[in-house]
Amino acid sequence: MAAITRSVGTPIIWAVSPTWAPTSSNWSTTPNALITLASIANGAGRQGGKIDLGASWKQLYIPVLRVEFQATPTSGAAATLAWAPSNSATAGNDNPGGCTGADGAFSDADLFNQLIIIGALHCDNAASVQQVYLGEFRPPTQYGSPVVWNASGATLDADNIQQGVILIPITETIA
């Protein structure tokens, strides 16, 4: 009987350098691309820089969302992670939902719904760092960028030290 084994690759990280310094984690402190999650108000979002996953990109990733709240969020409310896929390496080309392919504000909830919704961090009732592993994600294209929408009832913290988006590449092998 065949067995499927999984191996973990080097995580791809969107954060702000040099301030990204996640504590009690195994994440690299050198981000691959920029996303500035500091001070995102409730009812607003932020898009990260477009990244090239490689010509032979992994077909499976485990997405992780890390945010820190400036004040206590509404318990059960959410910060949601989405993906803006693209067939172009150029930041401003072929982006859905009005995305630019660069770190910047994202303020349209209707356009957010045009993106691939990966999952949501349902908030604990604490002004603290909160992290969620969002199952498995299969990007449909070689290029793309994350978008975070804050509907937590609170503003994200004013610094970027603990906040970021991570994609952990997974290789599956049948033996």
The one-letter amino acid code at 77 reads A
In a structure prediction context, what are the per-residue pLDDT tens digits for the chain, which is 175 residues long?
A: 789 899 999 999 999 988 888 875 677 888 999 999 999 999 999 999 999 999 989 999 999 999 999 999 999 999 999 999 999 999 999 999 999 999 999 999 999 999 999 999 999 888 889 999 999 999 999 999 999 999 999 999 999 999 999 999 999 999 8
pLDDT score at 47: 98
CA angle 34–6–12, rounded 5-degree value: 5
Do 85 and 57 form a contact (C-beta atoms < 8 A)? no
Dihedral angle sign, alpha carbons of residues 21, 26, 31, 36 = negative
Domain limits at 31? 4-174
Contact 115, 82 (CB under 8 A): yes
pLDDT at residue 41 in the model: 97
Residues composing the chain: 175
> Residue type at 157?
D
User: In 3-state terms, what secondary structure has residue 142?
Assistant: coil
pLDDT at 144: 98
Q: What is the pLDDT of residue 25?
A: 65
Tokens linked to 103:
């770190």
The domain that contains 103 carries what CATH number? Answer: 2.60.120.260
pLDDT at 54: 93
Which segments of the chain are extended strands (E)? 4-8, 12-15, 33-34, 44-47, 51-52, 60-68, 78-86, 104-106, 116-122, 129-133, 143-151, 164-174
pTM of the predicted model as reported, rounded to 2 decimal places = 0.94
pLDDT for position 29? 82
| Residue 96 per-residue DSSP state | G
**What is the tally of structural domains in the chain?**
1
Write down the pLDDT at residue 24: 59
Distance of alpha carbon 116 from alpha carbon 95, whole angstroms: 12
Query: Are the CB atoms for 166 and 27 separated by under 8 Å?
Result: yes
The pLDDT, as a whole number, for residue 126 is 86
Name the one residue in this structure whose structure tokens are 């033996």.
175
